[in-house]
Every structure is written in structure tokens, then in C-alpha cells.
Amino acid sequence: MQRVSERSTGGAPRLRRDDGVHFLAGEQPKVATKPSVRSKNSASGALGGSPSRTVSSHLTKEEGVKIIQFISENGERLYGAIDSVEPGRARVIEGDILGAFSLTERSAEIRKILPPVSPPNILALGFSYGKHAGETESRPPESPVLFIKGTNSLLGPGETILLPKAGPDEVDFEAELAVVIGKRAKNVSPGEALEYVLGYTCGNDVSARDWQMVKQKKQWARGKSFDTFCPLGPCLVTKDEIPDPNNLRIRSILNGRVMQDSSTSDMLFSVADIVSDLSRSMTLLPGTVIMTGTPEGVGFVRKPPVFLRHGDVITIDIERLGALTNPVEREP
């Protein structure tokens, strides 16, 4: 398997952004649309009779295509693209973000931002960064080290990370690049692997270290699957806006103090290699989230250790993807 420094860069076609932005990325569950939704090619051409227009009218190439899942002022659960012209609003997406979808003219107020996807699986990797493997005195792995986080751990931007009653004292943070799979992938090669990626978002692999290391005898899933232990967001940036996912600055910031400050270039395996490797042992379903591991600077290796406490605020900031911020409280 190739290390990041020798990975191939080809194989990922750009998503098409013509005729109102249609992305063909997979074949899985449809995002519900109201019967009144009409094709952009119909006479009125949009939702509710408003004419549609192309994404370029509000989203430039430099800004990227930033997709959010949100609750509107009417209580609707919608997908939309962040509107840089009208803060606090989003252009509603019609269709299936894991299939064909288009950006409509309809604008909706954002009342609450949800995790950008509702994944069927959350796959996660350990010891993926060279310096992190070093700080934990672990031998760098020859291939990606996989564990699974429960989907119950999913949490949206701004929502509260709960320090669980069963283990509140050694809860740690991990800044991670999260990869979202766009179409079913099985036994794909590294050269074609990025064709199966829909986009990227920020993730925090929150971890109860005592459960991870001691109580479960280094069987990681339980210590990393408490409710609220997988914040994702704030948006999904489509892969065409990220030419090289292994060249992004990544940071965690605790109460305004930078704790982790690294680059995805320190990853031992490229995103393409990770997707390819995982697809050899399991079918990657559309919407699957892959947490690609964390860089050096996590709390438990510090002297003294730094763990999340009631009243803390933790932010995961990744270049070009935005900032994911969550407050921390004890479970009531």
C-alpha cells in the first residue's frame, strides 16, 4: 500500500456543475421532496413556481459547494447549499445527495444545522498519522487500522457533547478529516477510489480513554461509541472542491487554545488508499462516513493529560471545510 508521500493523484473526475448543478454520485435513499417540486426543466422550473438558476449565481468555485442538512423555519428537514449572499439561509437542494441532485431557487431560513449526512455506518481508523503514532509510542501500521463507531454517537454542529455517567473523567478530543462515500464501493483500486467519494467534512472522534484502554482491554468501539461521541459538520464540501484531501491544515481548539495543529499530509495512507483498502473487506455503502484518524496533540498523551470538562468548548477546524464547534456538559 502506498504511503501519502508516494500516492497517485489521478482517478477522481470533477463533479459536473453545469445546468443547475447535477451531481451523479450513487444510487441510495432519496431525500424526500414534496409533490409540488417540479423539474428545473419544467415551465416554472423550480420549487413553488420560482425560476431556478445555476449554482454559480451564488456559489463560486473559490467558495466551494458547501452542503448542509438543516431544519428550516417551517420545521422541514432539508438539504441545502450555504448562501454566501444571505447569511442564515440556504438554497434548497432538490433530489438525492447520494444520487442526482440540483440546487433550486428556493431559499430557506436555517433554524438548526444537522450532521451533513445520516450514515449507515461510521468507520474509523487508528494510528493514521505518523507523528500521532510516535507520540503514543505505537509502531506505524502497515495498513489502515479499522474500528467502528456506533451511529448513535452522531452529533451535529453546536450540539452538546455529553460526558457519560459511566465514564466522565477521561473523555478526549480527536480532530479528524471525515470522508463521505457517494456510491457503493467494493474491491475498488486506489486509482479509482476517489470516484466513490462524495465529499469531506470535519469530524471529532470523541473518546473515553478509560473505556478504550482499560475497561475494554483496548477494544476501542465501546469507548468511542457513547452517545454524542461523533460530532460531524458543519457542512459537506464536495470532492471537486478539494483537489488533494491529503494536503489540508487540521486543528483542534479547546477553549480558545490550539491543541492539535497539523496537516493531513502527515497521514500514513492517502484517502484513496484508505477507501480502496476498506472496500476489499466490506462493501462501502453510500453515505458511509470514514473517520480517517487524528494527528498528534490529543489530550491523553499530554503531561499533565488534558481531558474534556463540563463547560468546555471544542472546535475542529480543517482548511477549506470550516469549523465544527460543540460545547461539553456532564450527562444529566
Whether 22 has a pLDDT exceeding 50, the answer reads no
For every residue of 45-105, DSSP letters joined together read: -SGGGPPP--GGGT--TTT--EEEEEEETTS-EEEEEE-SSSTTEEEEEEE-TTS-EEEEE
User: How large is the average pLDDT for residues 266-284?
Assistant: 97
Q: Write out pLDDT tens, residues 135-161.
A: 666 778 889 999 999 999 999 999 999
Residue type, 102: S
Give CA–CA dist 283/27, Å, rounded.
Answer: 14
- Whether residue 297 contacts residue 129, with contact meaning beta carbons closer than 8 Å, is answered with no
Q: Write out pLDDT tens, residues 234-267.
A: 999 999 999 999 999 999 999 999 999 999 999 9
Give CA–CA dist 48/82, Å, rounded.
Answer: 20
Whether 16 has a pLDDT exceeding 70, the answer reads no
Give CA–CA dist 244/7, Å, rounded.
Answer: 11
Give CA–CA dist 161/145, Å, rounded.
Answer: 25
Give CA–CA dist 180/286, Å, rounded.
Answer: 8
CA-to-CA dists, residue 113 to 73, 76, 77, 232, angstroms = 12, 12, 10, 11
Sorted by where each starts, the structural domains of the chain and their CATH numbers stand as: 117-330 (3.90.850.10)
